[in-house]
């Protein structure tokens, strides 16, 4: 049955779409995260500016918190799309493979 699934054109298409989506989210998150680290390393003064003149909180804190929230949002986006699109498509592919395998065994 695994060979049946692995050679299914719908499975190969699903695999390609899921991989492209995963890499897009990964590249986005890595770009944001490493951009933040590079700013801290090479221009720390940018994030060391206080939010207001009287504040002890610098811009680095809300920017860092925003990166954490972005990672949570991207995780939620992945889970939502996986539940809505990827999982039902995979379940349909598996069901078709089971039907074909059962039909061959019956013959």
- Per-residue model confidence (pLDDT) at position 106: 63
- What SS3 state is found at 50? strand
The pTM for the full model equals: 0.81
CA dihedral 36, 38, 42, 45 (to 10 degrees): 0
User: pLDDT (tens digit, 0 to 9) for every residue of the chain, 107 residues total?
Assistant: 667 777 888 999 999 999 999 999 999 999 999 999 999 999 999 999 999 999 999 999 999 999 999 999 999 999 999 999 999 999 999 888 888 777 776 65
């Amino acid at each position: 049955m695994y060979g049946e699934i692995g050679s299914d054109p719908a499975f190969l298409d699903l695999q390609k779409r899921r991989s492209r989506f995963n890499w897009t989210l990964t590249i986005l998150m890595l770009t944001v995260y490493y951009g933040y680290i590079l700013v801290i390393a090479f221009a720390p003064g940018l994030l060391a500016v206080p939010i207001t003149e009287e504040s002890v909180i610098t811009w680095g804190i809300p920017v860092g918190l925003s990166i954490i929230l972005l990672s949570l949002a991207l995780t939620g986006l992945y889970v939502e799309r996986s539940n809505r699109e990827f999982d039902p498509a995979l379940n349909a592919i598996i069901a078709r493979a089971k039907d074909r395998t059962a039909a061959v065994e019956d013959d």
